[in-house]
Amino acid sequence: MTISRRNFLGASGGMALISASAVSGRAQAAAIPEAATMNDAVMQPPLVPTTGPDYQPVVTLNGWTLPWRMNGDWKEFHLVAEPVVREFSPGMVGHLWGYNGQSPGPSIEAVEGDKVRIFVTNRLPEHTTIHWHGQLLPCGMDGVGGLTQPHIKPGQTFVYEFQLQKSGTFMYHPHADEMVQMAMGMMGFFVVHPKDPAFRRVDRDFVFLMAAYDIDPGTYVPKVAEMTNFNMWTWNSRVFPGIDHIVAGKGDKVRIRFGNLTMTNHPIHMHGYDFKVSCTDGGWVPEAAAWPEVTVDCAVGQMRAFDFVADAPGDWAIHCHKSHHTMNAMGHDVGNFIGVDKKEFSKKVRQIVPEYMPMGTAGMADMGEMEMPLPDNTLPMMTGFAQFGAVEMGGMFSVVKVREGLASGDYKDPGWFKHPEGTVAFEWKGEPKKAERAPEPRFDTKKTAEVRVVKPGNRPIGGHDNH
């Protein structure tokens, strides 16, 4: 049965379904808990605990938390590995693999000391397993297909049982045909809250996983053999402008946690603040040792969390600092035409390609505003508008919106920041001063380039080649 979480997370709160399905009799205890399914990429309200220790639940950007039920003293979850359709941003979907209707899968939240029983049903066309990245558990629950357990074949359901040894920031992903299954989007967050509700507590706690995809414009399925040349750099399988904003009230203690399941590192940079790196997938950084940063690198297979007090209102950019990771599918193969006379050049190219459109002769910023015809199912390489114009970003980019007077638990987009008067960069309109300038670079177009061809074995003297 497919349940839209949106329906049961109504005004009455998310716990209605969970208590309704609470186990009473033996027959029910033996049954598999319901597997909730999510139909869209809309951020769901955090799942506030109604039993057990209190904690501040996380908010999954463009995602949700998996409901559970109590069965005796076991907390039971049900994950379903299956093909899904994920919207990357309005205008583009990917045919991915994920869990319970989405990629990434729903976040799992529990408390230090909890006994968790996680049912995993495989609806993929091939076998899978789940590895609980960072958790301390019995070896046979570690989820490495072939090594610690038999693979979960299509149609089978396996059960993982372990007690959560420590609080912190973890994730789950397959350890079976990993190259394919992670390139297809199979991953999810796993947050273990401290038993002591006051320990390292924050007011708002956001999570996202980084995944990279290679999806050609006009197609839907990621190319799973790609190693380096990805064109979709995503947070929770979303790209700017489709990534949720991170909304906080002035004065809130905020935590942002992320993990990296791409094939390269991501230096995550936040504007307007310095922050403290508070948690890794290995555990909490002692408060006295939490180090300050404005950019924290997250290597492949790592998780990082940082904390800050949202004391500076504004619309602050947060993004990966690799500039190619703030771009979408179109345009990664564009040559550098800066300085080229585009009229002459286009005239010549149009003799071969009549619809050729020159781009980027002054830079590439014009592409942020360009409305060019795109193939089906792809996104412009940089896009997204804010109050002052095109943001010229894609991929791993979002906005931390800090506002005065937000109610706790209010994650709605508050709109663009109203800057206090006199605090926005402005155009100088006085007398222009005669500035010394470097002379214009001149290119001698008549001189042909010199190309040197060296036969193998006749390498120029002084090279470092050992052949």
| Residues binding Cu ion (CB under 5 A) | 266, 320, 322, 325
Measured CA distances, 356 to 345, 348, 353, 359 (Å): 10, 10, 5, 9
Shortest distance (Å) from residue 266 CB to Cu ion: 3
* 117 beta partners: 76, 161
Nearer to Cu ion, 19 or 323 (CB): 323
Tell the residue number behind the tokens 């996202």, with chain if given.
208
Nearer to Cu ion, 131 or 266 (CB): 266
Shortest distance (Å) from residue 322 CB to Cu ion: 4
Q: Which two tokens stand for residue 419?
A: 């800057």
Q: How far apart are CA 265 and CA 296, in angstroms?
A: 10
Nearer to Cu ion, 175 or 325 (CB): 325
Shortest distance (Å) from residue 235 CB to Cu ion: 10
Give CA torsion, residues 336, 339, 343, 346, to 10 deg: -10
Q: Which two tokens stand for residue 146?
A: 């072939």
Nearer to Cu ion, 62 or 122 (CB): 62
Nearer to Cu ion, 151 or 325 (CB): 325
Q: Which two tokens stand for residue 352?
A: 């071969």
Nearer to Cu ion, 176 or 239 (CB): 239
Nearer to Cu ion, 108 or 268 (CB): 268
**Dihedral class, residue 178 (left if φ above 0, else alpha if ψ from -120 to 50, else beta):** alpha
| DSSP run (H or E) holding 30 | helix 26-30
Q: How far apart are CA 133 and CA 143, in angstroms?
A: 9
Shortest distance (Å) from residue 62 CB to Cu ion: 18
CB 199 within 8 A of CB 167: yes
Measured CA distances, 237 to 60, 79, 80, 122, 259 (Å): 12, 18, 18, 21, 12
Give CA torsion, residues 214, 216, 220, 223, to 10 deg: -40
Nearer to Cu ion, 58 or 320 (CB): 320
Q: Is the dihedral angle over the CA atoms 374, 379, 382, 386 positive or is it negative?
A: positive
Q: How far apart are CA 365 and CA 215, in angstroms?
A: 24
* Residues contacting residue 165 through CB under 8 Å, at least 6 positions apart: 112, 135, 136, 137
Shortest distance (Å) from residue 112 CB to Cu ion: 31
Nearer to Cu ion, 135 or 326 (CB): 326
Shortest distance (Å) from residue 433 CB to Cu ion: 40
Shortest distance (Å) from residue 396 CB to Cu ion: 5
Shortest distance (Å) from residue 269 CB to Cu ion: 10
Q: Which two tokens stand for residue 93?
A: 């979907």
**Of 45, 67, 42, the residue nearest 408 (C-alpha):** 45
Shortest distance (Å) from residue 212 CB to Cu ion: 8
Tell me the three state secondary structure of residue 367. helix
The CB density around residue 421, as the number of other CB atoms within 10 Å, is 6
Radius of gyration, CA atoms only, the chain: 26
Shortest distance (Å) from residue 332 CB to Cu ion: 14
Nearer to Cu ion, 202 or 379 (CB): 379
